[in-house]
Structure 1
């Protein structure tokens, strides 16, 4: 659980959570990354104002799948031509096999994202580490669009 932010991680389904942080209120749709649920993601693209993409930094094999899904997301018609901020959490950084957020960025080729603001944070969702940095960045990005 993301206790500090009130997020709930649900591994096998989607969940909806409301967050009230400083001057913004977020409605978060937590979508499972399991293959059978990925086709549901696109139903939320049109109205989304930001994307939070969580990567298991200890699982290099699944990072290949994450890269493919990220490319699919970025090329979707409801996302492709929008300057929508994307926050990446390189999660599970506490695990022995975890790679750094810099390495995750390289494996996902994030440097190729030129038309959208993005940020990557190392995180440990269980302990809440790295989450506030990411949410603060995302809040700044959304606020900049609103003003």
Structure 2
């Protein structure tokens, strides 16, 4: 009887959960963005001076705008990027973070994003590109970042996509990015339904 009651209770209290991938080259600010999301939406999160480079992955579970998110921050070192594909089929959205100050690798960044959105397993899911480190004087303008993004627009077909400026270290633009993301996850629910947890 206990197992039946437990099963009924678990079924009635299951929640919809969306998986979000945070991708980008190493040192783009992926983990800092995740920690800022944790700080804004749960009151927890590491301060920027305590964040170390990600080797492997970090996972955060957050409730943002009445929506439960499982957020995967996956390391961006070149040897780890081949592992990203393993996450694509489970992802409901991708947040791609660009270091706006890393002019030397901006073409590599563009090629990496093109490979992600060209993969059949990411077809139809929202892609949010964040131009990070906009608080720095040496950062590229958001319009320049958008130009890079526009060059791969033909691979995005009809899916939702956007470029937004942020400073993950200061938290500027983080709430706006979360708002865009949750609205697009809700809109895309029919195409890629949430998991039940």
TM-score normalised according to structure 2 size? 0.68
Q: Does 1:5 align with 2:37?
A: yes
SS in 1 for 2:79: helix
State the distance in 1 between where 2:36 and 2:105 align: 27
The structure with the greater share of residues assigned to helix is 2
Hey, what does 1:18 align to over in structure 2?
A: 61
State the distance in 1 between where 2:132 and 2:167 align: 5
Aligned partners of 1:10 and 1:30 also within 8 Å: no
Report how far residue 111 of structure 1 moved: 4.1
Report how far residue 11 of structure 1 moved: 2.5
Q: Does 1:45 align with 2:88?
A: yes
- Whose relative contact order is higher, 1 or 2, with alpha carbons under 8 Å and at least 6 apart? 2
**Residues matched between the structures, number:** 145
Listed one character per residue, the Cα deviations across residues 58-116 of structure 1 (whole Å, up to 9, x for unaligned) are 1112111111111111121212xx21001111001111210122211102325443332
Report how far residue 36 of structure 1 moved: 1.4
Q: Does 1:136 align with 2:179?
A: yes
Aligned partners of 1:119 and 1:134 also within 8 Å: no
Deviant stretches of 4+, over 4 Å: 7-10
Larger Rg: 2
Report how far residue 15 of structure 1 moved: 0.6
CA 74–49 in structure 1, closer or farther in 2 if over 3 Å, else same:
same
Q: What RMSD in Å do the two structures reach over aligned CA positions?
A: 1.9
Match of 2:97 among 54, 57, 66: 54
